Amino acid sequence: MCGMTTSRHSARFILAAVVAIGIAARVAGAAPEEATQPGFAWKDGAEVYAKVCAFCHDTAVGPTLRGRGLDPTYIQLIVRHGNRAMPAFRASEIDDQSLEKLAEYVSKAEANK
Ligand code: HEC
């Protein structure tokens, strides 16, 4: 009797473990798909600025960017390669085309109000 109970318990434990591993594997398998997001694209330069750059550059963590007429090529260079406390952003985060639009936007936008 006792032996039966024990084996039923361990069978249930093994089943639970297998289910847990299965869920973990499914979550791990889904992650890279979400990271690359084939259909994802930034709407325009203003959106990238608002959602990525403003976090530091509108909060005095980084220097003011807008209203300074910064060279778009310089902006692109800094964004791709970073500079001291300024983090670098890869093409998987901000694609080339969006970076071009972002640099154009930042260069021409009015100063922070
Ligand atoms: C985590 C905070 C942070 C984020 C996010 C960030 N920056 Fe910066 N950025 C900084 C800091 C800090 C500096 C100053 C670096 C230094 O000189 O040490 C800087 C410097 C710069 C500079 C040079 C400014 C100058 O006066 O020469 C440019 C251009 C720039 N950032 C563009 C951007 C753009 C565009 C984005 C959005 C894609 C962005 N940054 C996102 C923190 C950030």
User: How many C-alpha atoms does 10 have within 13 Å on its Cβ side?
Assistant: 5
Instruction: Out of 48, 57, 80, give the residue to mutate to test ligand 1, the one with the largest number of ligand atoms within 8 Å of its CB.
Output: 57
Look up 85 and say whether it is catalytic: yes
Per-residue pLDDT, 33: 43
pLDDT over 60 at 36, yes or no: no
List 86's β-bridge partners, or say none.
Answer: 83
Q: What's the pTM?
A: 0.76
- Between the CA of 86 and the centroid of ligand 1 the distance, in Å, is 5
Per-residue pLDDT, 65: 98
Q: How many residues does the chain have?
A: 113
pLDDT digits (tens, 9 = 90+) for 7-22: 666 666 555 655 555 5
Separation of alpha carbons 38 and 58, rounded Å: 30
Instruction: Out of 51, 56, 92, give the residue to mutate to test ligand 1, the one with the largest number of ligand atoms within 8 Å of its CB.
Output: 56
pLDDT over 50 at 31, yes or no: no
**What letter does residue 75 receive in the DSSP assignment?**
H
pLDDT digits (tens, 9 = 90+) for 50-103: 999 999 999 999 999 999 999 999 999 999 999 999 999 999 999 999 999 999
